[in-house]
C-alpha cells in the first residue's frame, strides 16, 4: 500500500513551500494548495508535489477545494493549515469585508476541511495522523495594525483545542505559533534590526525552524491539543 500524502495549504511560497520540499526530501508524498499560478509551481510539480488550486476567501471556494481534494486522494497522513492572508486592518468601507475574508481563510477553511477530511485521515494506514494549525505569536498579544488577522488566528488557535478533543485518539491536532520567521520583500535593514531586537534570540531564523517544529509534531505520538511557540523567546523581552 502506498504512503498517504501530507496536505499543506498555501504551500507555493515561503514557509509552506519550504516544508513541502523538506517533506518531499524525507520521502513523503505531498499535496499543496495554491491560490495564484506562478512559474515556481513547475519546480514543485517536477519534484512530484501535487498542486491543487484553491481560494479560501469564499465558502464555495473552500467546499470546491474539499471536493477536488477527495477526488485526488483516498487518504491523508496529515493536514497543515498554513494558508494565510496577512492583510492589515482597513479603516474604510471594506473593513467588514476584510474581516470576513480573514475569518474564512484562517477559521472557516480549517474548520470545514477538518470536518470533511476527517475520514481521509482515518483512512490512513500509518499509526499516526496529524492536523497542524499555523497560528501566530500575536494571538497572545493582539495587534494594533493587524487586529482582524490576530483575532482570526486566535480563533484558529482555539479550534486546535476543540478538534484535538473531538478527533482523539485517532488524530492529533496541534498548533505552531511563530513570531517573525522570514522578512517580506521590501523590508529594509532598519525593519530587520527592530524585528531582531524583539526576541531574546536576536535573530530572524528562516523557515528551517518551522520545519523542525512540524517534524516534531509529525513524529510525536503523545502530543495533542497544544500550541508550540516558535518565537525566539518574545515573552522574555
Ligand atoms: N512569515 C512569518 O514570519 C510568520 C508566519 N506566520 C504564519 O505562518 C504561515 C506561513 O507564513 P508565510 O509563509 O509567511 O505566509 P505567506 O503569506 O507568504 O503565504 C501564505 C499562503 O497563503 C495563501 N493564501 C492567502 N490567501 C489565500 C486564500 N484566500 N485562499 C487560499 N490561499 C490563500 C497564499 O497563496 P498564493 O501565494 O498562491 O496567493 C500564500 O502562498 C502563515 O499561516 C502565517 O500566518 C506566523 C507568524 C510569522
Ligand atoms: N500569512 C502571513 N502571515 C504573516 C506574515 C506573512 O508574511 N504572511 N508575516 C508576519 C511578520 O513576519 C510578522 O511576524 C513581523 O512583523 C506575520 N504573519
Task: Using a cut of 0.95, tell me whether the model's pTM lies above it.
Answer: yes
Mutate to test the pocket of ligand 1, among 7, 8, 9, 10 (most ligand atoms within 8 A of CB): 10
Report how far residue 80's alpha carbon sits from residue 16's, in angstroms, rounded to the nearest whole number. Answer: 9
Ligand nearest to the CA of residue 104, numbered in listed order: 1
What cell numbers appear for 164 in the block? 484535538
Whole-number average pLDDT of the chain = 98
In the residue annotation, 149 being an active-site residue is answered as yes
2 band by pLDDT with thresholds 50, 70 and 90? confident
Report how far residue 41's alpha carbon sits from residue 231's, in angstroms, rounded to the nearest whole number. Answer: 29
3-state secondary structure of 125: coil
Ligand 1 atom with minimal separation from the 61 CA = 30
Judge if the beta carbon of residue 73 lies within 6 A of ligand 1: no
Share in percent of the chain as helix, strand, coil (round to 5): 45, 15, 40
Judge if the beta carbon of residue 213 lies within 6 A of ligand 1: no
3-state secondary structure of 19: helix
Instruction: State pLDDT tens for residues 96-128.
Output: 999 999 999 999 999 999 999 999 999 999 999
Judge if the beta carbon of residue 209 lies within 6 A of ligand 1: no
CA distances from 38 to 19, 52, 65 (A): 18, 13, 19
Mutate to test the pocket of ligand 2, among 11, 143, 180 (most ligand atoms within 8 A of CB): 180
Set out the domains of the chain in order of their start, with CATH numbers.
6-236 (3.40.50.720)
pLDDT > 70 in the chain, percent = 100
pLDDT at position 80 = 99
Beta strands in 179-226 (DSSP E): none
* φ, ψ of residue 211 in degrees (nearest 5): -60, -40
Q: Count how many residues are written for the chain.
A: 237
Amino acid at each position: 500500500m502506498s504512503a498517504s500524502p501530507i496536505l499543506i495549504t498555501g504551500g507555493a511560497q515561503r514557509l509552506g513551500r519550504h516544508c513541502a520540499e523538506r517533506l518531499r526530501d524525507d520521502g513523503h508524498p505531498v499535496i499543496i494548495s495554491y491560490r495564484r499560478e506562478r512559474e515556481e509551481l513547475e519546480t514543485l510539480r517536477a519534484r512530484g508535489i501535487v498542486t491543487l488550486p484553491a481560494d479560501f476567501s469564499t465558502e464555495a471556494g473552500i467546499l470546491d477545494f474539499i471536493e477536488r481534494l477527495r477526488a485526488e486522494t483516498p487518504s491523508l497522513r496529515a493536514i497543515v493549515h498554513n494558508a494565510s492572508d496577512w492583510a492589515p486592518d482597513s479603516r474604510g468601507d471594506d473593513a467588514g469585508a476584510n474581516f470576513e475574508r480573514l475569518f474564512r481563510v484562517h477559521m472557516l477553511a480549517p474548520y470545514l476541511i477538518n470536518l470533511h477530511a476527517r475520514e481521509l485521515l482515518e483512512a490512513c494506514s500509518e499509526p499516526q495522523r496529524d492536523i497542524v494549525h499555523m497560528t501566530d505569536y500575536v494571538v497572545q498579544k493582539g495587534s494594533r495594525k493587524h487586529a482582524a488577522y490576530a483575532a482570526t488566528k486566535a480563533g484558529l488557535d482555539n479550534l486546535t483545542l476543540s478538534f484535538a478533543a473531538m478527533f482523539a485518539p485517532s488524530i492529533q491536532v496541534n498548533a505552531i505559533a511563530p513570531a517573525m520567521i522570514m522578512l517580506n520583500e521590501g523590508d529594509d535593514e532598519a525593519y530587520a534590526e527592530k524585528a531582531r531586537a524583539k526576541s531574546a534570540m536576536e535573530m530572524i531564523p528562516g523557515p528551517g525552524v518551522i520545519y523542525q517544529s512540524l517534524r516534531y509534531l509529525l513524529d510525536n505520538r503523545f502530543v495533542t491539543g497544544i500550541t508550540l511557540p516558535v518565537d525566539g523567546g518574545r515573552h522574555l523581552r
